[in-house]
Amino acid sequence: MREMEAADWVSLSDQDLLERRISKLGLRLDGTALEPLIRQLYDELSAHGLVFHPQCHIGDEWFVPIGIPAIFVPFFLVHDRLRALERTMMLEVEGGTKEWFMQLMRHEAGHAYTYAYQLTRKKKWQQTFGHTSREETPDTYRPRPFSRSYVVHLDDWYAQSHPDEDFAETFAVWLTPGLDWRKRYAGWKALQKLEYVDELMRSLAGKPPVHAPEYRVADYDCLNVKLKTYYARKRKLYEDTYPDFYDADLRQLFAAPAGIKASFYLRQRRRRLMNSVCQWTNEKKFRVNKLLTRLIDRCDQLGLHVLNDDPQQDFRVSAFITTLVMNYLFTGKFKRTK
């Protein structure tokens, strides 16, 4: 396997690297650690007799362009230096592990198959997943976490966001090697969708795609921007969530007349709190970190204190922050991002 040549930007500081234009970094997929994972997707498709293997390209995020049966993989996964920058800027790397990468690849492959075989035109597809159009695609959605009408694959109950995503998630579950989806979804209404996908894919085995439009990668990759511009936009997208209504709760939570400053207490435990809350809520680390920043700043403004020797305080704070996040998740809205 050829390795990507060492580039002059690899040793740059974050500040200097952010000044570079993504399209000028010389990135490619071949010869990287992603290449065998892409081949793994193709092998999984071939194991079902499916001959269409979607072309993969580098883009600014995970996506399949509307009407184009091709998969775009985010640029930051292509090189370890860019993964490190992504983690610094966003606190996590979407698709950064093999398992996570393959989950997302199977999902995007579902979209690619939708376009390659014009599946949304099929009456049974519409009866199973619903009608779809550009106009009907919402920017946000409200999930029902305990619904058994949808498979659970990606975070945020993503199958519930739109019929296209419902199919892509169902396809991804169906394609996952070693998963006994009939057993996993026994008794679920979602099993009917999986059975239909199984029937549909069997009918497509050995058949070439019916829709293979020509396209220019540069028309879709959105990489002709500086890294600092990319991250300014991305961080703004994740910043606009939690409202400011914490004062009464904070005064109750940090009610000590003296002791250590509540803001200092939160700063000391910031990473541990963030990791714990994200583990149990599946919320983005960047969002929870921004919430913690707001709480810390507000504690300073209110002049709040906490006793340093209260063994129950960590539990109360974790419960409070988790409650804030869960209240938002189940009464607010998720953004469609895939």
> What does R_g of the chain's alpha carbons equal in angstroms?
23
146 CB burial (10 A radius; 0-12, 13-18, 19+): exposed
Per the CB < 8 A criterion, the answer to whether 210 and 116 are in contact is yes
> Can you say how many angstroms the Cα of residue 185 is from the centroid of all Cα atoms in its chain?
23
CA-CA distance, 32 to 99, in Å (whole number)? Answer: 17
Query: Does the pLDDT of residue 338 top 80, yes or no?
Result: no
Q: What is the pLDDT of residues 155-173, one digit of tens each?
A: 878 888 899 999 999 999 9
Quote the pLDDT of residue 244. 59
261-274 confidence digits (pLDDT tens) = 999 999 999 999 99
Residue-wise pLDDT tens digits, 292-316: 998 998 899 899 999 877 888 989 9
User: pLDDT class for 224, splitting at 50, 70, 90?
Assistant: very high
DSSP 144-191: -TT-SSS---STTTGGGG-HHHHHHHHHHHHHSTT--HHHHTTT-THH
List Cα–Cα distances, 15 to 52, 114, 224, in angstroms: 42, 41, 18
Q: Is the pLDDT of residue 185 over 90?
A: yes
Nearest C-alpha neighbor of 222 from the set 66, 80, 58, 68: 58
Inter-CA distances, 335 with 115, 274, 298, Å:
23, 21, 27
Q: How far apart are CA 262 and CA 268, in angstroms?
A: 10
Task: Give the pLDDT confidence of 18-68 residue by residue, as tens digits.
Answer: 999 999 999 999 999 999 999 999 999 999 999 999 999 999 999 999 999
Distance CA 295, CA 298 (A): 5
For residues 298 and 207, the model is more confident at 207
Length of the chain in terms of residues written: 338
Share of the chain above pLDDT 90, in %: 69
What's residue 18's pLDDT? 97
Q: What letter would DSSP give residue 34? A: T
Residue 325 near residue 291 (C-beta atoms within 8 A): yes
76-91 pLDDT, tens per residue?
A: 999 999 999 999 998 8
Contact between residue 226 and residue 20 where contact means Cβ atoms under 8 Å apart: yes
CA 63 to chain centre: 11
Q: Is the pLDDT of residue 194 over 70?
A: yes
Predicted local confidence at residue 271, as pLDDT = 92
Question: Measured between alpha carbons, how far is 178 from 169 in angstroms, rounded to an integer?
Answer: 16
Q: Is the pLDDT of residue 260 over 90?
A: yes
Report the chain's mean pLDDT, rounded to a whole number: 89
What's the pLDDT at 143?
73
Q: Which two tokens stand for residue 31?
A: 């010869």
What span, in angstroms and rounded, lies between the C-alpha atoms of 167 and 64? Answer: 14
pTM of the model: 0.79
Please give the pLDDT value at position 20: 97
Question: In the prediction, which pLDDT does 237 show?
Answer: 78
Q: In 88-124, which positions are buried (b, 16+ CB within 10 angstroms) versus exposed (e)?
A: ebbbebbbeeeeebbbbbbbbbbbbbbbbbebbeeee
What gap in Å lies between CA 335 and CA 333, rounded to an integer?
A: 7
- Locate 187 and state its tokens: 């008794």
pLDDT of residue 139: 63
